[in-house]
A = this chain, B = another copy of it.
Amino acid sequence: MTKPLILVTNDDGITSKGIRKLVDVMKNIGDVVVVAPNSPQSGKGHAITIGEPLRLYATDIFDEIDEYECSGTPADCVKLAKHYILKDRKPDLVVSGINHGSNSSISILYSGTMSAAIEGAIEGIPAIGFSLCDFKEDAEFDHALPYIERITRESLSHGIPKGVALNVNIPAINQEPIKGIVVCRQANAKWQETFDYRVDPNGRGYFWMAGDFINFDSEKGDTDVWALDNNYISIVPSQFDLTEYEAVRELQSWNL
C-alpha cells in the first residue's frame, strides 16, 4: 500500500525544535515533505507575500526527506508546495507545527501555524495544526508525541470533514499526565493589550506590545481553553467561511 504523502510546515521556522519533533512523528506514518519558513513567522496570521518575490531553497536539516526553506509566510509555503513542488502528487495531509506556544481560542486568528493548516483545507487537503502551550525555544515536546501520532492516524482513517482544519493544542508538560483529548469549540476570548513605551538610544520612542488573555467563556466547560486549563488536549475543527448567517438575515431587514 502506498504510504500517505504528508506535507509538514510551521511558523517558527524550519530550524525550530517543534518542527523536528513533528517530522519525527510523521515519518512513522507516511512519506514526508517539508516546506517551511526560513525565519520565525509567529503572529503572521494568514499573511501571504504579494508584491515581493519569494525564495525557495532545498535544505539538508532532516534525515532522508525532501525539504525546502522558503522566504515567505506559512501560507506561502503551503501554496508553493501544493502548486509547485508537489504539483504532480497532491499531499494526503498537511500538518503544521508543533508550534512553540498556544493557538487556542482567538489566537487562531493571529496564528501562522493555523493559517498553514487552513490554507491546506482551502486546497481541499485534510489539515491539522499542532501547538504546545509552551513558547520556550527548548520546550519539552515528548509527552505530546504519542497523542499527535494518534490524532494524525485517526484523521487519516476517518477523513477530516471537507473544508475543515483541526486546531490541536496540547498542555505544557506538568506534574500530571495528560487526561485525554476533548473535541470542543473555540473559546470566546480576546487579548487585552498593553503598550510599554520606551525611548531608544537615538531619542526616538517605540512601543512593546504585550497583553493579558481575557476569557469571556471562563464559566463554560465546552471550550478549548477549559480543556487546556484542565490538562486535556483540545481539538477545535475550524473552518474558513466567516459568514455570520444570523446577521445576514438581520441585516436584510435594514433599509439599505
A53 to B201, CA, bound (A): 14
In residues 96-131 of chain A, which contact B (Cβ within 8 Å)?
A: 106, 108-110, 115, 118, 122-123
- Beyond A181-B256, A208-B53, is A250–B154 a contact (Cβ under 8 Å)? no
**A interface, size bucket:** 35 or more
A204 to chain B, nearest CB (A): 7
Check B43 against A49 for contact (C-beta < 8 Å): yes
Cross-chain contact of A115 among B45, B208, B238 (Cβ < 8 A) = B45
CB-CB nearest in chain B for A118:
B109
Contacts of A154 in B (CB 8 A): 254-256
Identical copies in the complex: 2
Check B46 against A45 for contact (C-beta < 8 Å): yes
Check A195 against B83 for contact (C-beta < 8 Å): yes
Check A48 against B54 for contact (C-beta < 8 Å): no
Cross-chain contact of A45 among B45, B151, B198 (Cβ < 8 A) = B45
Q: Given A45-B46, A53-B207, 7 other A-B contacts at CB below 8 A?
A: A42-B51, A46-B109, A47-B110, A50-B209, A56-B205, A237-B250, A237-B251
Residues of A within 8 A of B (CB): 40, 42-51, 53-56, 75-76, 79-80, 82-84, 106, 108-110, 115, 118, 122-123, 150-151, 154, 158, 160-161, 163-164, 166-167, 180-181, 183-186, 188, 190, 192-195, 198, 204-209, 235-248, 250-252, 254-256
